[in-house]
Amino acid sequence: MRLRFEDLEEPWHPVSRPELIGWLVFYGLFLVNALLDTDGFLFIDHVNLIIHEAGHLLFSYLGQTLMVWGGTLFQLFVPAALFVAFLFRRQLPGAAFAGFFFFENFLYIATYMGDARAQSLPLVSVGGGEAEHDWFFILSQLGLVQYDTTLAFLTRAVGWLGMLGTVGWLILRALQHPKE
């Protein structure tokens, strides 16, 4: 598939009302589940964890600092790239799904970030061995480790606002271009 900016002038593929209702039920249930979650790890975060760890491997050739940042960068890059692909294809449900899960990643990141000082979360490392806490490393390098929970709160807020905004965007776009 070749991405051409002319494609962005095309109208979105229409979404039927039953399809929109189905997506809204899905997002509603997901948001309720996330709201009631107590451990900060949702079912989709198993996928996010795999992408995060792959990011460490991909960025490992660029030195320690980028390797550590690579996990978070890649887990944000993957849904962002999917969003762009669906955007150019003018497929609204796919773009909304990718956008929603781009922002859902911020909840996962916030949980990990907020654990920087406590380091009580179980860590995973590719290939076994001792795992280093990414966000303790990152925030220590930035001189911000004492703000881990504050930064986590703000990151979580970005995630929630982004997910809700994405659902709102889906509704507006779908109602502007209904399937007849």
| Size (the chain), residues | 180
Q: What is the pLDDT of residues 26-82, one digit of tens each?
A: 999 999 999 998 877 788 888 998 999 999 999 989 999 999 999 999 999 999 999
**96-135 pLDDT, tens digit each:** 999 999 999 999 999 999 999 998 888 877 666 667 889 9
Please indicate, yes or no, if residue 19 is contained in any of the structural domains. no
Within a domain: residue 147? yes
Assess if residue 10 is contained within a domain. Answer: no
**Would residue 35 count as lying in a domain?**
no
Query: What is the value of pTM for the model shown?
Result: 0.90
pLDDT given for residue 6 in this prediction: 66
Looking at residues 85-103, what average pLDDT do you find? 96
Q: Which domain holds residue 156?
A: 45-174
Contact 158, 106 (CB under 8 A): yes
Instruction: Kindly compute the dihedral angle of the four CA atoms of residues 1, 48, 51, 129, in this order, to the nearest 10 degrees.
Output: -170
Q: How confident is the model at residue 150 (pLDDT cuts 50, 70, 90)?
A: very high
Contact partners, residue 169, CB within 8 Å, separation at least 6? 96, 99
Measured between alpha carbons, how far is 37 from 41 in angstroms, rounded to an integer? 8
Domain count, the chain: 1
In a domain, 106, yes or no: yes
Domain membership of residue 166 (yes or no) is: yes
- Flag whether 8 is in a domain: no
Q: How far apart are CA 126 and CA 50, in angstroms?
A: 10
Q: Tell me, yes or no, whether 1 lies in a domain.
A: no
